[in-house]
Structure 1
Amino acid sequence: MKLHYGLDELKGIDFMPLLPVILPVIALSTLLVLIALIDLYRHRNTRKNVLMWSFIILLVNTFGPVFYFIHGRKDGEVR
């Protein structure tokens, strides 16, 4: 059994049937990141840890913006 696959094996895979599934996921993920960054930028004076949230949004691909919208928007609220 072969445990290591190189780039030669990936060249033989036809990715065209997967394109209708992959492209909407990429578009939705990019849109979510952009909306989260715009919201963070607009409320940067009231948010705490703007740099940390920027890194989380950008580096934790799809879950970073979702985590920001759930927890990060509560940073600047007056309690």
Structure 2
Amino acid sequence: MKLHYGLDDLKDIDFMAFIPIILPFLAVGLLLVSIALIDLYRHRNTRENVLIWTFVILFVNTIGPILYLVIGRKDSDRS
């Protein structure tokens, strides 16, 4: 049993076999980001910290859109 693998061992891996496993996760992540960004854009006048939420949604993978949808959607009292 090898304890250490080098970059040369990557050529032996069949990456196409992993696509059916990875694709659903990528699709769900993209869907979450899209829904969160659309909601943020539609309600940008009543949300606080729109720029910060945009960065959180885009750069904090999977957890960012969930955080926005759970705690970021609270409307502010501005009209």
Question: TM-score, length-normalised on structure 1?
Answer: 0.83
Instruction: Flag structure 1 segments of 5+ consecutive residues without an equivalent.
Output: none
Q: In 1, Cα distance between the equivalents of 2:71 and 2:6?
A: 40
Amino acid at match of 1:12: D
Match of 1:44 in 2: 44
Question: TM-score, length-normalised on structure 2?
Answer: 0.83
Q: Which runs of 4+ in 1 moved over 3 A?
A: none
Q: In 2, Cα distance between the equivalents of 1:37 and 1:5?
A: 40
Match of 1:66 in 2: 66
Cα contact 2:48–2:76 (8 A) shared by 1: no
Q: In 2, Cα distance between the equivalents of 1:5 and 1:30?
A: 32
Identical positions, percent = 59
